[in-house]
Amino acid sequence: MTEKKDIKAMELSALCDFVAELGEKPFRARQLYEWMHKKLVPSVDAMTNLPKAFREEIKTRAEYVSLRTVRRLESGIDGTRKYLFGLADNNVIESVFMRYRHGNSVCVSSQVGCRMGCKFCASTLDGLVRNLNASEMLEQVYRIQADVGERISNVVVMGSGEPLDNFDALVRFIRLLSCEEGLLISQRNITVSTCGLVPEIERLAEERLSVTLALSLHAADDETRRILMPIANRYPLSEVLPACRQYFEKTGRRLTFEYSLVAGVNDKDEDAGRLAGLIGDMHGHVNLIPVNPIKERNYRQSDRRRVEAFKEALMRRGINATVRREMGRDIGGACGQLRKGYLEKGERAF
Ligand code: SAH
């Protein structure tokens, strides 16, 4: 038996071929595509204008990827929602919905777990389980838009996983998400965050997408960076930063630098000075994130005064910096901690 095709991960042209193979007319491909990517139905049976026999054929020949909502938490403070989704193989992933003045944003996961090993991050503690398919990444946005009932205008690939370690699925996801026949989310409103995989940053620049690249910097010198991020052993700043600069030059998209402030490790004024020296001419924006402590490690958050002082030190040197507002404080479980808690306690605890 041939493997079932993941139709939700197919671009329209491939779907047309698939539909032709089943002996159906091309307009059926368009209908099918709309049901999946515009009407966001959770099952093939819900595609009511397709003939029953065709729906049955699809179910036999194709896999219809759809996520199951295992748990949903909603903040009473700012409307942030955190979702724990179940995959067909019973793995779980988490995604977040955030409401901003500029629109609704979803934070998606790109892998189950992660193999990058950043020391402060909960997603990587148990290593990588597997990559997500483009359809599983899309479904996070689709299920959330359907649940909230409002248009999602921004997507950040900042959930669990390293998106550039799952390159092909990521690019497919971006193309489908921004496609005219689908949700048509502007590529300018999609941000891909990476720990700094140099060859893949270069590859992404070649894809000619107009997504924003966010680099997780977290330190302004290699020595400190290596303490926090093992990937810094492989790619020093002298390689990562030129790759980012090249991304900016090829795409014209301004860069974002993420910098999680860890008390006593990377939060001194001296670090801010070094950071300004490093990225001063790169037209980037620095996103400061007071680190979310995880119980498995001893890292502490810099206090509010230190965070402000760090920001001021950057601003004085002409670097645009903002402190990331903490969303959904009352529902906790930031950055992969919801899934981790779920795995430790088991489903019944929820
Ligand atoms: N693999 C991607 C996406 C990771 S999550 C990357 O490395 O960029 C998005 C951001 O949150 C990254 O900058 C990541 O380093 C940061 N992050 C992860 N856990 C964190 C924590 N506990 N506190 C603060 N920032 C964290």
pLDDT tens per residue across span 57-107: 999 999 999 999 999 999 999 999 999 999 999 999 999 999 999 999 999
Sheet holding 256-261, edge to edge: 68-74, 81-86, 92-100, 103-107, 154-157, 190-194, 212-216, 256-261, 285-290, 320-323
How far does CA 4 lie from the centroid of its chain?
26
User: Which one from 16, 114, 195, 335 is the annotated catalytic residue?
Assistant: 335
Instruction: Output the pLDDT for position 319.
Output: 97
Is the pTM for the entire model greater than 0.85? yes
Residue bearing the bigger pLDDT, 221 or 349: 221
Mean pLDDT of 19-27: 95
Q: How far, in Å, is the centroid of ligand 1 from the Cα of 335?
A: 7
- Dihedral angle, C-alpha 269, 271, 272, 275, nearest 10 °: 160
Tokens read off for 22: 């089943």
Q: Return the residue whose CA atom lies nearest to atom 15 of ligand 1.
A: 216
Summarised one tens digit per residue, pLDDT across range 291-310 is: 999 888 889 999 999 999 99
Name the average pLDDT for the chain.
Answer: 94
Mean pLDDT of 248-276: 97
Q: How far, in Å, is the centroid of ligand 1 from the Cα of 127?
A: 15
Q: How far, in Å, is the centroid of ligand 1 from the Cα of 243?
A: 20
Q: Return the residue whose CA atom lies nearest to atom 14 of ligand 1.
A: 216
The rounded percent of the chain whose pLDDT value lies above 90 is: 88
Q: How far, in Å, is the centroid of ligand 1 from the Cα of 123?
A: 9
Mean pLDDT of 167-196: 98
Pocket of ligand 1 (CB under 6 A): 116, 118, 120-121, 158, 162, 193-195, 216, 258, 260, 289, 291-292, 294, 335
Pairing of strands 190-194, 154-157: parallel
Instruction: Output the pLDDT for position 297.
Output: 87
Please state the φ and ψ torsions of residue 111, each to the nearest 5 degrees.
Answer: -145, 160
Evaluate if residue 348 carries a pLDDT over 60: no
- 167-177 and 134-148 helices, crossing angle to 10°: 40
Q: Return the residue whose CA atom lies nearest to atom 24 of ligand 1.
A: 291
User: Which one from 16, 24, 94, 118 is the annotated catalytic residue?
Assistant: 94
d(CA 18, CA 29): 8
Contact 266, 224 (CB under 8 A): yes
d(CA 206, CA 29): 30
Contacts of 198-202 with C-beta under 8 Å, sequence gap 24+, read 198/235, 198/239, 198/240, 198/243, 200/164, 200/165, 200/167, 201/164, 201/240, 201/243, 201/244, 201/246, 201/247, 202/243, 202/246, 202/247
Tokens read off for 140: 């996070």
| 107 classed as catalytic | no
d(CA 223, CA 110): 28
Tokens read off for 10: 């197919």
Report the SS3 class of residue 319.
Answer: coil
Among all chains, which residue has been given the structure tokens 């680190």? 291
d(CA 225, CA 324): 20
Q: How far, in Å, is the centroid of ligand 1 from the Cα of 256?
A: 13
Contact 263, 303 (CB under 8 A): yes
d(CA 143, CA 147): 6
Contact 143, 67 (CB under 8 A): yes
Please identify, by atom number, the ligand 1 atom nearest to the C-alpha of residue 114: 1
Summarised one tens digit per residue, pLDDT across range 128-171 is: 999 999 999 999 999 999 999 999 999 999 999 999 999 999 99
